[in-house]
A and B are shown apart, each in its own frame.
Chain A
């Protein structure tokens, strides 16, 4: 009998107890925390990227793509394993424009494993790089935007940044619709991240691709307007100008052009980031005398005046002990309101404001309230229009705001100063003045192109509200026609068309004070077949740092040019044809 075996029995029992205790701890007590750890390790969540929607403009009422997607490649270098000389020689030779890093930077830290050397590399170049079979050089496929129209409309369209997010313009404002929704793949994977069929927590949410958005903008008109501005600026000292062409009968934007443009493919190369900003919707400024249109329309609508109403023009009024002068020094004495508008006399629009309050001598609270009601509530000035783009709401002082010299403020507002408005606000309000009194929400989206290539139009919205009566609107058309033609000699516009408009010149506000050496010029007008409602409204704006740009001298000729281009392009027939 072997007695010493007790030691083995004791040893194994001890070992098994230890092991069993340990197992109990791991499997029962710590079970939940191990499960959590396992999920962290086993479950991979990956994005199923959604395809970004494309952007179309219209041409002959059919969608034409102006922003497309194409496959492109990103060149990534592993500085630790790549050969600096060989890589730079071969890749540098093939990829020039698309480099986003300097070679010296790429290889500055050889401990790094990942350095993006180039983006938006084309299929051909990617193929050549791949054929070189370089160590530590990788190609990652992705999507990039292509712009078959070049720089046309860049300020309106915006761009997509390196992270795939839309920035500025349509790309930015409608990013959510264009981007779609990335899908989600949540799955248990093996150690190489290959999905397994184990487990019941696997999730697969397919990606929702972005919408293909069709703009109301006409591709041909957009290009013509943009080139028209560019040609015009060649003769001028100014380098910045914007133009907006709208259909006053629907609120649809037909063209929205700003010069200078930029290359959205290489958006990062612009010298001045301000070119990204769309001056038509995102910049509020003082449109100046253009606003007389709204002050006069309000007074006529209120029955306080007609174009023939007369007043005494002393060349200036003193309000809140401020002397507010006319820019034009003539036409003193008893004159009509039409004359006041023709010569853009500030005393005329201030008289209209006084008339709104039932006085001819002073600006009453009622005058302020009524003007504010028209500007803000009816014409939608100083607030968002609701166009599908980034907007500035602008500013408008209320009729009872506690500001120093409130009446002087309101006097200024009648000729478009002491308020901040965007071009789109002014153009939408002006459209209602000339179209019979209906305010339409300005819009730039015509619909979408479905995955099957079908163009589905957005429903045309009806007018949001009435601003003025049809009669007042007709009167305003006549007044604006008179103003345009009194200053331009009859016959400047082609016969058979009825075109009216108003200038505006405002001192630029620099650091909160009006500048004496810099002005911004605007012109807004409508046009169409004589005897019919206007078919287009065009607003232009020209500006340049440190220069006095004037409405009549600089902005009006640009309008003339673009107006004629529009008539030709839209094939608007003259009266009797």
Chain B
């Protein structure tokens, strides 16, 4: 818990430091009128919301989610289908509540808050996949076609929405990671697991080849492209490189003044590298490692269904961290996903915090719950009992 809040606080500091430059840059480039505290205040609100989300994830008993896992999965799929439908009807242009950027329609505009339906997909998978695994394990059909049919349909649809319709390879990787990690932990035979893995890899390669946009990013990575993506990575590495051992100090990032795209969201790691240097980045990475290892430890020690949920959370956060950071240092192609808890932006932080809250709740169950999961109480039952008790 301390780690989670610590990372969020670090993100807040960085946004505080570079927010004024960002506002300045946006104002001069687009003639907008952001105040210098705009980004910091927004991030502050996002952090408050995220803390609330963490609390919610921690407090609401897992059994409640378990009960509605299927419905949530269905809802998430419908929501994403709805987004795709609306976008397709309008030629992949922003329209109404649909927000598109460069032909990628990933956002629903709900009042002041932009919302990415793909985040709902990730969350729903964390509840749905464990329940699917447990059901088939109980019925003895795990690893058989009765299990694989719904698994492939759900994963296929999720990847279709994220990668093909929303053109978001980064989210696709995260969804894939969640699905694969849970599958591994389900305990199926290893050769079946390897088979699925190969299938996903082939599918991924086909998707890359089929899209010129992704092809370009790959070319950029291999040093042959010359495009916005290459500009992005060059400037990210420049920011990190100029940071040196101890960084240039808070508020002295030059790369954040417009050279580095997405300086406060996807590229925040690079700006932190410039600001805090190698030492600072090591601290940040160590914090993430501690967070991930505590999730792994939880997964190791709880009952399998809990373990699967925590594995999902761990895969989610871990994939975000690895894919984001590796791209920033030029190890893998750029995909455009956030660094959990640190990047500017409400949706991502809120969902990550909620997932971590849930994992926290599960970790506290370790070794203390003896009842079978099926008989444990949902939130409704708990509150009902509490009310009865208070009446009495």
Binding site for B on A (CB under 8 A): 1-2, 4-5, 7-9, 12, 15-16, 18-20, 22-24, 26-28, 30-31, 33-35, 37-38, 41-42, 188, 190-192, 194, 196, 198-199
CA distance A398 to B106 in the complex (A): 92
Q: Does A2 lie within 8 Å of B185, measured CB to CB?
A: yes
Of all chain A residues, which has the CB nearest B259?
Answer: A191
Q: Does B329 lie within 8 Å of A22, measured CB to CB?
A: yes
Q: Does B244 lie within 8 Å of A28, measured CB to CB?
A: yes
Q: B148 at the A/B interface (Cβ < 8 Å)? A: no
- Residue pairs across A and B with Cβ atoms less than 8 A apart, 26 shown, are A1-B301, A2-B304, A8-B314, A9-B296, A16-B289, A18-B331, A19-B322, A19-B325, A19-B326, A22-B329, A22-B331, A24-B278, A27-B240, A27-B245, A27-B273, A27-B278, A35-B241, A35-B242, A35-B244, A38-B238, A38-B254, A38-B255, A41-B238, A190-B257, A192-B25, A199-B254
B242: which A residues are within 8 A, CB to CB?
A: 31, 34-35, 38
Q: Does B25 lie within 8 Å of A2, measured CB to CB?
A: no
A33: which B residues are within 8 A, CB to CB?
A: 241
Chain A proximity of B201: nearest CB distance (Å): 16
Q: What total of A-B pairs shows CB separation below 8 Å?
A: 126
Of all chain A residues, which has the CB nearest B234?
Answer: A37
Q: B65 at the A/B interface (Cβ < 8 Å)? A: no
CA distance A381 to B300 in the complex (A): 105
Considering the complex of A and B, which 9 residue pairs feature the smallest CB-CB distances, nearest first? A34-B241, A191-B258, A190-B257, A27-B278, A22-B329, A31-B244, A2-B307, A38-B242, A5-B300
Given the interface contacts A19-B285, A196-B254, A198-B254, does A28 sit within 8 Å of B299 by beta carbon? no
Interface 0/1 of B222-247, CB less than 8 Å to A: 00000000000000011011111100
CA distance A198 to B257 in the complex (A): 10
Chain A proximity of B116: nearest CB distance (Å): 25
Q: Does B296 lie within 8 Å of A5, measured CB to CB?
A: yes
Pick the contact of A2: B24, B243, B277, B300 (CB < 8 A): B300
Q: Does B307 lie within 8 Å of A26, measured CB to CB?
A: no
Q: B252 at the A/B interface (Cβ < 8 Å)? A: yes
Pick the contact of A26: B24, B241, B318 (CB < 8 A): B241
Q: Does A34 lie within 8 Å of B300, measured CB to CB?
A: no
* Secondary structure dominating the interface of A: helix
CA distance A42 to B292 in the complex (A): 37
Binding site for A on B (CB under 8 A): 21, 24-25, 28-29, 181, 184-185, 187, 237-238, 240-245, 251-255, 257-259, 273, 277-278, 281-282, 285, 289, 292-293, 296, 299-302, 304, 307, 311, 314, 318, 322, 325-326, 329-331
Q: Does A41 lie within 8 Å of B259, measured CB to CB?
A: yes
Q: Does B293 lie within 8 Å of A9, measured CB to CB?
A: yes
Q: Does B329 lie within 8 Å of A16, measured CB to CB?
A: no
Chain B proximity of A63: nearest CB distance (Å): 46
Q: Does A27 lie within 8 Å of B293, measured CB to CB?
A: no
B184: which A residues are within 8 A, CB to CB?
A: 4, 7
CA distance A35 to B181 in the complex (A): 41
* Secondary structure dominating the interface of B: helix
Given the interface contacts A2-B300, A34-B242, A194-B28, does A23 sit within 8 Å of B292 by beta carbon? no
CA distance A31 to B245 in the complex (A): 9
Q: Does A19 lie within 8 Å of B329, measured CB to CB?
A: yes
CA distance A16 to B238 in the complex (A): 20
Pick the contact of A188: B241, B254, B273, B278 (CB < 8 A): B254
Of all chain B residues, which has the CB nearest A42?
Answer: B254
Q: Does B25 lie within 8 Å of A23, measured CB to CB?
A: no
B243: which A residues are within 8 A, CB to CB?
A: 27
Chain B proximity of A517: nearest CB distance (Å): 69
Chain A proximity of B32: nearest CB distance (Å): 14
Chain A proximity of B330: nearest CB distance (Å): 7
Q: Does A15 lie within 8 Å of B273, measured CB to CB?
A: no
Q: Does B285 lie within 8 Å of A20, measured CB to CB?
A: yes
Additional pairs, 15, CB under 8 Å, beyond known A12-B318, A23-B281, A192-B25: A2-B300, A5-B296, A7-B184, A8-B299, A8-B311, A8-B314, A9-B296, A15-B326, A19-B285, A24-B278, A27-B278, A42-B259, A190-B24, A190-B259, A191-B25
A199: which B residues are within 8 A, CB to CB?
A: 252, 254
CA distance A38 to B292 in the complex (A): 34
Given the interface contacts A5-B300, A8-B314, A188-B254, does A26 sit within 8 Å of B237 by beta carbon? yes
Pick the contact of B238: A8, A18, A37 (CB < 8 A): A37
CA distance A7 to B285 in the complex (A): 19
CA distance A191 to B322 in the complex (A): 29
CA distance A27 to B279 in the complex (A): 10
Of all chain A residues, which has the CB nearest B255?
Answer: A38
Pick the contact of A12: B21, B24, B251, B289 (CB < 8 A): B289
CA distance A28 to B277 in the complex (A): 9
CA distance A33 to B241 in the complex (A): 8
Chain A proximity of B314: nearest CB distance (Å): 7
Chain A proximity of B84: nearest CB distance (Å): 32
Of all chain A residues, which has the CB nearest B246?
Answer: A27
CA distance A199 to B274 in the complex (A): 13
Q: Does B304 lie within 8 Å of A30, measured CB to CB?
A: no
CA distance A30 to B244 in the complex (A): 9
Chain B proximity of A499: nearest CB distance (Å): 73
CA distance A28 to B282 in the complex (A): 13
Chain A proximity of B31: nearest CB distance (Å): 12
Chain A proximity of B203: nearest CB distance (Å): 21
CA distance A1 to B251 in the complex (A): 47
CA distance A33 to B285 in the complex (A): 24
CA distance A188 to B311 in the complex (A): 47
Pick the contact of A34: B25, B237, B296, B307 (CB < 8 A): B237
Q: Does B273 lie within 8 Å of A23, measured CB to CB?
A: yes
CA distance A369 to B326 in the complex (A): 89
Q: Does B258 lie within 8 Å of A192, measured CB to CB?
A: yes
Chain A proximity of B237: nearest CB distance (Å): 6
A23: which B residues are within 8 A, CB to CB?
A: 240, 273, 278, 281-282, 329
Q: Does B278 lie within 8 Å of A18, measured CB to CB?
A: no
Of all chain B residues, which has the CB nearest A27?
Answer: B278
Of all chain A residues, which has the CB nearest B260?
Answer: A191
A26: which B residues are within 8 A, CB to CB?
A: 237, 240-241, 329
A16: which B residues are within 8 A, CB to CB?
A: 285, 289
Chain B proximity of A380: nearest CB distance (Å): 61
CA distance A28 to B187 in the complex (A): 43
CA distance A34 to B259 in the complex (A): 14
CA distance A7 to B197 in the complex (A): 14
B185: which A residues are within 8 A, CB to CB?
A: 2, 4-5
Chain A proximity of B179: nearest CB distance (Å): 14
Given the interface contacts A190-B257, A192-B258, A199-B254, does A2 sit within 8 Å of B326 by beta carbon? no
Pick the contact of A191: B257, B293, B311 (CB < 8 A): B257
Q: Does A30 lie within 8 Å of B25, measured CB to CB?
A: no
